[in-house]
Amino acid sequence: MAYVAIADQHAHLHDPQTFLTKYVWSQDHKVIAIQYMVTAVAVGLLALALSVLMRLQLGFPDTFSFITPSNYYQFVTMHGMIMVIYLLTALFLGGFGNYLIPLMCGARDMVFPYLNMVSYWVYLLAVLVLVASFFVPGGPTGAGWTLYPPQAILDGTPGANWGITLMLVSLGIFIVAFTMGGLNYVTTVLQARCRGMTLMRMPLSVWGIFMATILGLLAFPALLVSAVMMTLDNHLGTSFFMPALVSMGEQSGHKGGSPLLFQHLFWFFGHPEVYIVALPAFGIVSDLISTHARRHIFGYRMMVWAIVAIGALSFVVWAHHMYVSGMNPYFGFFFATTTLIIAVPTAIKVYNWVLTLWRGDIHLTVPMLFAIGFVFTFLNGGLTGLFLGNVTVDVPLSDTYFVVAHFHMVMGVSPILVVCGAIYHWYPKMTGRMADETLGRIHFWGTFLGTYAIYLPMHYLGILGVPRRYYALGDTYFIPESVHTMNAGITIAAIVVAVFQLLFLFNLVWSLKHGKAASANPWRATTLEWQTPDTPPKHGNWGPELPVVYRWAYEYGVPGLKEDFVPQNQPPDSLPRTSDRHGHL
Amino acid sequence: MNLIVASAGVLIGLLVWWLAVSRLTTKSWEAQGTTDGRGTAEMLGVAPERVGLWVLLAVITSFFALFITAYAMRMTPHPVRGISLADWQPLPEPWILWVNTVLLLLGSTFMQVARVGASRGKATLARVGLLAGGAFAFAFLAGQWLAWRQLQAEGYYAAANPANAFFYVLTGLHGLHLLGGLCVWGWTLARMSRDDAIRDGVRLSVELCTVYWHYLLVVWLVLFGLLLIT
């Protein structure tokens, strides 16, 4: 059967007519991307506010009467869950995935635009259900973002009835939304690339998002399975996870359930989730570094293989979150080994970023600052991961602030730095205006130094044995006075960092009107999204003719050419050359 | 847990194999020019809807594989200090499940008839096949409902034993997936009755429904087999 290339089909390009179809019920991937981003950032601000409240309690205990122990646990839980799933996952895949995949692959849109639209609205529903839990009797769940049973659904835990139910329902809805989006991302990458865009010519951003989507599609079902079973334990009285126990002086109706089973299922999702967030960040940061260092990415092939290898390995390391859970101790050996093996492809990526910078023509633009900040932070967080990956070192450090510091460095601060860098980088394409540079620099230094002021001291707290999850430390013999001082300092740093994020938002809103008008390709980048006929790109992206790709995405600094970059879609015979030709090509 | 690793391993293995054959070894920095005159869909020769469905089936496979793993782990928990914690009491499978299996098999067969009819342009055959395929799926669901009723009447409540709970959850989720398929089926039927001839889009819809029916039949056979041997 003769088949017209999907990207060439005009049939699904029903041009939007009214305001509603253009901006609200839009099927355009760019509008959906921005809807995803705005929603994710809005709910992220809520999570940011929650973290400030948490820090206020930790830094200045006995000061804020409105933060009760129950509130504190609710803040912790909602902060974690929102940041990991509703902000980072949604922003990287729903936001950047939606925006970048069709543009970078040279397609007119996602292959299933209607499904894409539904995906966003279902995601919004998930967010609303989650936020609704603040307004139900008992408030949101306070079970910790890992939602471990049995405590998650026992009466002593805040939100054990309504809160946890809404959380699980919201997660279920989110997974449905993600699956719809994910089908689109995978199918678009596989099927809708323009002519000449082979897999090995795709920008690494697309590779990262593509692999992360596959991980999400295979891992989120584990969360769904555990959510279904926990809901039934809570409401039908089954005993999938709930052992026989005495709660509030009464024997509960459950018996024989396995809390450990939940932990296995949760982390079978939970660890790939780390890479669902990290792989898009890896991809995007590779593109930022290459573009702003005016140098081809070092070891492109190795970078792709590393993304694939990390994705595959991320499914066999989950139990390193469970060394102290009471699982069979022999598992620890296996999972420590796989965990340390995953450091190999990750280290390859870090070397390649550094080697890309090496002797590059580094432009310290705002996106570049964030990209370099990411490499530092990810390295720091990764190194403490080597400590925690080893069972014998992990056991004493478990449940201390060392763990909090580690995972915030590696999957909190690092991806957020990439998010910020990516927003500054693609803002001109999305809006047609440059974000303000000075504000951007202030934002970078405030965020970068501020987050180090928060998380570096936390490592020391952890080594001292300060436990995490405690509402107040009180008088504990092994905790010196200096810890309290340090906690107060961390809190102040956290507030400062939060304020810097408001500055970021102000910059984004202000530049929308007052920013410098952006040219089509302000960073002089090679990838296709910068070669669109309009900025911001119009519906259908490419005008009458689809682009044709002639080379990989990293043709920077080729000797003998006038420009120091060659767009992917520039025909080889029309390259402007310098008069005195030297070198090859 | 071994099952988790195995199923993930198989899926990832397939992916890696596929990527490897699609020339992951290209030296993209050397090769200039277009690959050939064609778009990627043409190279693969597959409709995007078909790719979408296969990706969805991979997701659903992951979902049921994880449930089956949970089933296995819950059935035989690790003994603590030598004391077995097993509280699993297998429940007798109602005989009607055998009837349901036959119904689902018939549904799948008729969908295949519809697929063949659609691909050969025989509108009546396709319509009859599609109608019968859907009808048998509904009959299967009704049969599953009767099985639930029968177990309830005999006192096998979900909360009483993990074996009962898993029975209801697995059959229920399988039923929900079939119900989702029936929505698409209804849509296909509506599109088909708009026209006397079979259009390309309808032919693809019928084909994808058929694949989904076969897939859910396989899932059911695996689940039923699991229930029978435990």
Contact of A105 with B40, CB cutoff 8 Å = no
Exposure of A424 by Cβ count < 10 A (0-12 exposed, 13-18 middle, 19+ buried)?
A: buried
Q: How far apart are CA A93 and CA A104, in angstroms?
A: 14
B130/chain A closest Cα distance in angstroms? 24
Query: Which residues of chain A does B21 touch, with a Cβ-Cβ cutoff of 8 Å?
Result: none
Beta-bridge mates of residue A117: none
The tokens describing B106, both together, are 């018939």
Per-residue pLDDT at A516 exceeds 90: yes
Give the angle B67-B68-B71 at the CA atoms, nearest 5°: 90
Q: Which of A176, A189, A239 is most worth mutating to test chain B (most B CB atoms within 10 A of its CB)? A: A239
Task: For A244-364, list the strands marked E by DSSP.
Answer: 246-247, 250-251
Buried b (16+ CB within 10 A) or exposed e, A456-481: ebbbebbebbbebeebeeeeeeebee
At residue A463, the pLDDT reads 94
What total number of domains does chain B contain? 1
SS3 at position A565: strand
Four-CA torsion A542, A545, A546, A551, nearest 10 degrees = -110
Determine the average pLDDT of the residues in A369-388.
95
Residue A5 CA from chain centroid, whole number: 32
Per-residue pLDDT at A584 exceeds 80: no
B15/chain A closest Cα distance in angstroms? 9
A279-304, pLDDT tens digit by residue? 999 999 999 999 999 999 999 999 99
The tokens describing A550, both together, are 């002639």
Give the angle A336-A338-A343 at the CA atoms, nearest 5°: 95
The tokens describing A15, both together, are 């041009």
- The region that residue B81 occupies, defined by phi over 0 for left and psi between -120 and 50 for alpha, beta otherwise, is left
ipTM topping 0.85: yes
A221-243, pLDDT tens digit by residue? 999 999 999 999 999 999 999 98
Q: Which of A9, A112, A198 is most worth mutating to test chain B (most B CB atoms within 10 A of its CB)? A: A198
Per-residue pLDDT at A580 exceeds 70: no
| A199–chain B Cβ distance below 8 A for any pair | yes
SS3 at position B83: strand
Q: How far apart are CA A5 and CA A333, in angstroms?
A: 50
Cα four-point dihedral sign A328, A329, A333, A339: positive
Among residues A281, A573, A260, A548, the alpha carbon closest in space to that of A410 is found at: A281
The answer for residues whose C-beta is within 8 angstroms of residue B146's C-beta and 6 or more apart is B94, B96
Among residues B174, B175, B171, the alpha carbon closest in space to that of B158 is found at: B171
The answer for residues whose C-beta is within 8 angstroms of residue B122's C-beta and 6 or more apart is none
Q: How far apart are CA A407 and CA A405, in angstroms?
A: 6
The answer for residues whose C-beta is within 8 angstroms of residue A2's C-beta and 6 or more apart is none
* Closest residue, chain B, to A550 (C-alpha): B33
Q: Confidence class of residue A374 from pLDDT cuts 50, 70 and 90?
A: very high
Per-residue pLDDT at B29 exceeds 50: yes
Say yes or no for a CB contact (<8 Å) between B48 and A6.
yes
Among residues A496, A462, A455, A494, the alpha carbon closest in space to that of A479 is found at: A462
Exposure of A330 by Cβ count < 10 A (0-12 exposed, 13-18 middle, 19+ buried)?
A: exposed
Q: How far apart are CA A91 and CA A33, in angstroms?
A: 8
Beta-bridge mates of residue A246: A251
- The number of C-beta contacts closer than 8 angstroms across A and B is 187
Rg (CA), chain B: 22
Across the interface, which of B29, B40, B45 has its CB nearest the CB of A296? B29
Per-residue pLDDT at B118 exceeds 50: yes
At residue A579, the pLDDT reads 63
Determine the average pLDDT of the residues in B25-42.
62
A467-506, pLDDT tens digit by residue? 999 999 888 888 999 999 999 999 999 999 999 999 999 9
* Tally of helices (H runs) and strands (E runs) in chain A: 16, 2
Residue reference for tokens 């390193």? A320
At residue B30, the pLDDT reads 75
Per-residue pLDDT at A259 exceeds 70: yes
Per-residue pLDDT at B218 exceeds 50: yes
Amino acid at position A555, single letter: E
Say yes or no for a CB contact (<8 Å) between A111 and B45.
no
Residue reference for tokens 């549904």? B107
A418 sits in which H/E element = helix A414-431
At residue A578, the pLDDT reads 78
Q: Which of B21, B59, B84 is most worth mutating to test chain A (most A CB atoms within 10 A of its CB)? A: B59
Query: Which residues of chain A does B172 touch, with a Cβ-Cβ cutoff of 8 Å?
Result: none
Say yes or no for a CB contact (<8 Å) between A195 and B35.
yes
B1/chain A closest Cα distance in angstroms? 8
Among residues A9, A76, A45, A87, the alpha carbon closest in space to that of A419 is found at: A87
Say yes or no for a CB contact (<8 Å) between A192 and B8.
no
A559/chain B closest Cα distance in angstroms? 14
Average pLDDT over chain A, rounded to whole? 92
Residue A505 CA from chain centroid, whole number: 18
| A197–chain B Cβ distance below 8 A for any pair | yes
Distance of CA A21 to CAs A18, A109, A185, A453, Å? 5, 15, 22, 46
Supply the CATH number for residue B103's domain. Answer: 1.20.120.80
Contact of A121 with A554, CB cutoff 8 Å = no
A1-18, pLDDT tens digit by residue? 334 445 445 444 556 677
Q: Domain residues for B36?
A: 3-229
A169-227, pLDDT tens digit by residue? 999 999 999 999 999 999 999 999 999 998 899 999 999 999 999 999 999 999 999 99
Per-residue pLDDT at B211 exceeds 70: yes
Q: Confidence class of residue B198 from pLDDT cuts 50, 70 and 90?
A: confident
Per-residue pLDDT at A406 exceeds 70: yes
Query: Which residues of chain A does B208 touch, with a Cβ-Cβ cutoff of 8 Å?
Result: none
